[in-house]
Amino acid sequence: MTKQSELLALAKLRQRTRHPGYKYIGDYHAGAYECDFVSPYTKTAGNVDAEIMVMLQDWASDGFLSGPLHEPSVRLGHSPSLPTNRNLIRLLKTTFGLTLPDVYGTNLFPFVKPGDMSGDIPERDMVAAARQFALPQILIVSSKLVICLGLATFNALRQVCDLSAIRPIESAIESNFDIGTIRVWCQAHTGARGQNNRNKGGVDRVSEDWRKMKANFSSTGNRAFQRGAGLRTVQATHCETGRKIIKVPNRTPPVTLTENRMNIFILNNKKFERRHREIYPLDDKLKGFPVYDYDHEQAGRNSDLARIKPGDFALVFGKDRRVKDIFRVTGTKRDYAPDFGKKVFVIFGEHFGTLVQPIKYPDFIAINGLSCSRVNAKNNFTIGMIVTGCTNSQYKSLNELKTRWQPTPLTRSG
């Protein structure tokens, strides 16, 4: 499956989904606003290969859509006259030199809230939508940077990734986090209220916030937006118009390993015992073996998958529930799974070592003093769970940890 087909499947899911207390895009003016996107905003901001993704809060309210048919919203998926859009377009241009068609834009909450455009949405509903629609879009598009507009949008996504909410907006702007190799950044909502609150006292803090975000983005290895560098472009395709647009080429960040930061992920291959090293070829760019694969639906139900980064450790168990080989993750990429007939996400890793003897994963957790998410009191996975993220509290360095592992060579089919 292509990115477009996976995003279309999400759009069809949105069209079928009913959320109590909310209306739906197709309920107004004989379905004039309906579209084959999760959010109509993607009609204009539809670069599925974009380096930058913009995550707005929600698309429209019942009060707005119940009024006269708004032709620009039908045609463009947004109203160019609204302050939210005017300010966003200006900030993208002045900060990155980009227009809306150069990025991928969507709304975290894809349903229609009651009342007017300034109305709030309960946190529980924002989190549910983030899990069902926002996180899958992020993983499918795989931009390098996701800009969340507003505190509610940012915190809903944080909670789906098992991170605590952060307040106030000043703290959130300084608290970017990663979903795999994707950097997620909070910015003040670009609507009038969000901009006025952030720029209180007549100080233009918003522009400085965006400049800091760009500088951070440049310093993490993406040279496309360094000062004076300009965009190195190749062709990419807009998801609706099919026209050719610019795209900054993908870059794989180098693997950096911090001595005192050991994240260990245990992955469940029990159901199918998929032989990943036979299904997918070795990857010269990522310099590793295919270790595990998953689709965006599994990612939506297992948020720890989004936390796996280069430098983390990964172990996989099958029907015997035993782990043996340890991999150091080098990256994740999309690849075609011939047995499933669709594109999935494939985790790659360098073989780091082998346990002295295979051991059941609950015992591995206990013996190594790991603190793991979602496992039960006996360190077992619960129903439907395919990954747990663990942190080390027993060993102080890689060398100390590796004394328990043997550097046995791994073969292509091993």
pLDDT of residue 228: 30
Question: Is residue 411 a part of any domain in this protein?
Answer: no
Residue 413 lies in a domain: no
Selected residue with higher pLDDT from 118 and 411:
118
| Dihedral angle sign, alpha carbons of residues 4, 5, 6, 12 | positive
Q: Do both 42 and 82 map to the same domain? A: yes
The CA R_g of the chain, rounded to the nearest whole Å, is 22
Q: Are residues 316 and 397 in the same domain?
A: yes
Same domain, 215 and 304: no
Alpha carbon distance 412, 414 (integer Å)? 6
**Cα–Cα distances in Å, from 309 out to 126, 155, 304?**
26, 21, 11
Output the pLDDT for position 101.
Answer: 96
Q: How many domains does the chain have?
A: 2
**Three state DSSP letters for 141-193:** HCCCEEEEECHHHHHHHHHHCCCCCCCCHHHHHCCCEEECCEEEEEECCCCHH
- Give 121's DSSP letter: -
| The predicted structure's pLDDT at residue 234 | 32
Query: For residue 198, is it within any domain?
Result: yes
Point out the domain boundary residue: 247, 276, 304.
247
Is residue 83 a part of any domain in this protein?
yes
- Where does the pLDDT of residue 403 fall: very low under 50, low under 70, confident under 90, or very high at 90 and above? low
pLDDT at 67 exceeding the cut of 90: yes
Decide if pLDDT at 406 tops 70: no
- Residue among 58, 55, 166 nearest 114 (CA): 58
**What band does 252 get if pLDDT is binned at 50, 70 and 90?**
very low
- pLDDT mean across residues, the chain: 85
Tell me: do 105 and 226 sit in the same domain.
Answer: yes
Q: Which has the higher per-residue pLDDT, 67 or 383?
A: 67
> Residue 205 domain-assigned?
yes
Residue-level pLDDT at 401: 58
The number of angstroms, rounded, from the C-alpha of 272 to the middle of its chain's C-alpha atoms is 26
**Residue 257 domain-assigned (yes or no):** no
Greater model confidence, 225 or 2: 2
Residues 182 and 115 in one domain: yes
Side-chain-side CA neighbours of residue 132 (13 Å): 19
Q: Are residues 215 and 334 in the same domain?
A: no
Decide if 325 contacts 351 (C-beta within 8 A): yes
258 within some domain: no
> Residue 75 is part of a domain; what is its CATH number?
3.40.470.10
pLDDT of 71: 96
Whether 399 has a pLDDT exceeding 60, the answer reads no
Q: Are strands 370-372 and 387-392 parallel, antiparallel or unpaired?
A: antiparallel
Look at residue 92 in the predicted model and tell me its pLDDT: 97
Question: Which pair of structure tokens corresponds to residue 316?
Answer: 């996989």
Domain residues for 109?
3-247
pLDDT band (50, 70, 90) for residue 340: confident
Same domain for 349 and 394?
A: yes
Taking 90 as the threshold, does the pLDDT of residue 269 lie above it?
A: yes
Query: Taking 50 as the threshold, does the pLDDT of residue 231 lie above it?
Result: no
- Is residue 302 domain-shared with residue 210, that is, in the same domain? no
50: phi then psi, degrees, rounded to nearest 5: -70, 145
Q: Is pLDDT larger for residue 289 or for residue 244?
A: 289
What is the spatial distance between Cα 18 and Cα 20, in angstroms, rounded to a whole number? 6
| C-beta atoms surrounding 374 within 10 Å | 14
Do 83 and 141 sit in the same domain of this protein? yes
Mean pLDDT over 349-364 rounds to 88
pLDDT at 245 over 80: no
Dihedral sign for Cα atoms in the order 310, 102, 126, 344: negative
* pLDDT score at 404: 56
Q: How many CA atoms lie within 13 A of 334 on its CB side?
A: 16
Confidence of residue 156 (pLDDT cuts 50, 70, 90): very high
In a domain, 414, yes or no: no
Asked whether residue 66 falls in the same domain as residue 213, the answer is: yes
Peptide bond before residue 168 is cis, with ω within 30 degrees of 0 = yes
Does 412 score more than 80 pLDDT?
Answer: no
User: Taking 90 as the threshold, does the pLDDT of residue 287 lie above it?
Assistant: no
Q: Is 46 a residue whose pLDDT tops 50?
A: yes
- State the angle between helix axes of 83-96 and 205-219 in degrees (0 to 180), rounded to the nearest 10: 50
Q: What is the pLDDT of residue 220?
A: 62
Look at phi and psi of residue 215 and say left if phi exceeds 0, alpha if psi is from -120 to 50, else beta: alpha
Please state, for a pLDDT cut of 90, what percent of the chain lies above it: 60
93-148 pLDDT per residue, tens: 999 999 999 999 999 999 999 998 888 999 999 999 999 999 999 989 989 999 99
Among 16-25, 50-59, 184-193, 361-370, which is the least confidently predicted range? 361-370
Using 50, 70 and 90 to split pLDDT, how confident is the model at 64? very high
Residues 91, 212 contacting (CB under 8 angstroms): no
Q: Do 219 and 330 lie in a common domain?
A: no
C-alpha angle 363-398-319 in degrees, rounded to nearest 5: 30
- Tell me what pLDDT residue 179 has: 85
**Residue 233 pLDDT more than 80?**
no
Among 186, 212, 247, the domain boundary falls at: 247
Region 386-399: mean pLDDT is 72
Task: State how far the Cα of 122 lies from the Cα of 310, in Å rounded to an integer.
Answer: 35
- Which residue, 213, 247, 281, sits at the end of a domain? 247
Residues 400 and 311 in one domain: yes
pLDDT above 90: residue 341 = no
